[in-house]
Amino acid sequence: MATLDFLNGTEPATARPMRTAPMAEKPTLIGLSREDMGKALVEKGVPERQAKMRVSQLWHWLYVRGVSDFDHMLNVSKDMREMLKTHFTIARPEIVEEQVSNDGTRKWLLRFPARGAGRPVEVETVYIPEEGRGTLCISSQVGCTLTCSFCHTGTQKLVRNLTAEEILAQLLLARDRLGDFPDRETPAGAIVPSDGRKVSNVVMMGMGEPLYNFENVKQALLIATDGDGLSLSKRRVTLSTSGIVPEIYRTGEEIGVMLAISLHAVRDELRDMLVPINKKYPLKDLLEACRAYPSLSNARRITFEYVMLKDVNDSLEDAKLLTHLLRGIPAKINLIPFNPWPGTNYQCSDWEQIEKFADFINQAGYASPIRTPRGRDILAACGQLKSESERMRKVDRMAYEAMMIAGHGEDD
């Protein structure tokens, strides 16, 4: 794990195996809408006339204070807390491992119950500290149904969708571990301001295709952006998709967060091979959906991800076609040097060619940052996330899609 660190003359990352209590199989209150939370309470004997007030209390403790123990809900009666403990859970997932990189990047391997998968499932969540922001990369599925030929996650079968609770739990746990919730004793009027948060931005760019788990992702993101709770700005939440066109329209209408597109090719015949979902939703349909995305402006741009593959998609002709395709779309283009993994036939473009590609796009008026590795010493690679028993040799797994995490979402 630390081989690259010693070669580079740096200290290795810290890795701490951890064991916390696994999630109980009681119904959870995390991830429920206010309406559904109220119904759940009424079913357990809370009078209907009190339900709205109780939901308001619980919402505050769960999403403003970040408590994970009913006993910490100080203004809830003891009898009510006992009823809640008997019938519900608000526990965090089990942390199998936590790693902290030298540059502040953190990675958590989290374990969730089987829920039909046959055995407990594991996902990784990655935190990238940046200048003026902290970005959390969240997974939406265990495995993936897509078979993008350059992506290691594409070699894994879909195990199951994550629930709204499990998607939100990644955010709640990260804020716990980073000290991003107010202390339990903090007076009600002295909540930590939003601009002091360590997790200021969220990207749905971890394992899985978020738009193939639309309802759970929608529910989780609406709670994450609720102004009376976690209160993330929708301009600081980015959903990344390979191009599920019908749900792109729904995302704009029903969720309203920022959009990122895993593009990677400018011709249908090549994208059919790199991103096979293109056969169902070709570039013309994808870009129509992008142009129709609500509230686009220079302050609300779509990010197009473009992995640089040597002699595949990195010619200046590709760059010209890219700027032509995106004409009229407020856009930012992230150029991502490919990180080879065992068994792949692709190579990373030469650095000189990447710079020429970026210069052409910049001259055409598009921001085109070249992403550089983050968390290299813990190899925080969202597109290549696997459980410990399945993952590649760690010295071969550089921070490939961690490069995709940084820089997403606008600064309010």
The one-letter amino acid at 9: G
Confirm whether residue 208 is marked as ligand binding.
yes
Distance CA 199, CA 373 (A): 20
The one-letter amino acid at 87: H
Candidates 335, 339, 336; CA nearest to 361 is 335
Phi, psi of 302 (to 5 degrees): -85, 135
Distances (CA, A) of 44 to 40, 77, 90: 7, 16, 16
Specify whether 348 is catalytic. Answer: no
Distance CA 384, CA 401 (A): 8
CB 287 within 8 A of CB 329: yes
Confirm whether residue 201 is marked as ligand binding.
no
Catalytic residue among 290, 348, 382, 401: 382
Catalytic residue among 94, 124, 166, 305: 124
Q: What share of the chain is helix, strand, coil (3-state, %, to 5)?
A: 35, 20, 45
CB 181 within 8 A of CB 66: yes
Confirm whether residue 343 is marked as ligand binding.
no
Specify whether 382 is catalytic. Answer: yes
Confirm whether residue 151 is marked as ligand binding.
yes
Confirm whether residue 60 is marked as ligand binding.
no
Q: How far is CA 157 from the centre of its chain?
A: 19
- Which residues does residue 66 pair with via DSSP β-bridges, in sequence order? none
Helix axes 351-363, 316-325, angle to 10 degrees: 30
Virtual CA dihedral for 194, 199, 205, 208, nearest 10 degrees? Answer: -100
Phi, psi of 30 (to 5 degrees): -70, 135
Distance CA 342, CA 14 (A): 25
Confirm whether residue 137 is marked as ligand binding.
no
Confirm whether residue 148 is marked as ligand binding.
yes
Which tokens sit at 340?
Answer: 């080879």
Confirm whether residue 348 is marked as ligand binding.
no
Exposed / middle / buried, residue 260 (Cβ in 10 Å: 0-12, 13-18, 19+): buried
Confirm whether residue 209 is marked as ligand binding.
yes
- β-pairing, 302-308 vs 331-337, is parallel
In the block, which residue shows the tokens 């200048």?
A: 131
Confirm whether residue 368 is marked as ligand binding.
no
Exposed / middle / buried, residue 273 (Cβ in 10 Å: 0-12, 13-18, 19+): middle
In the annotated binding site, the residues are 144, 148, 151, 208-209, 240, 262-264, 339
Active-site annotation, residues: 124, 382
In the annotated binding site for [4Fe-4S] cluster, the residues are 144, 148, 151
In the annotated binding site for S-adenosyl-L-methionine, the residues are 208-209, 240, 262-264, 339
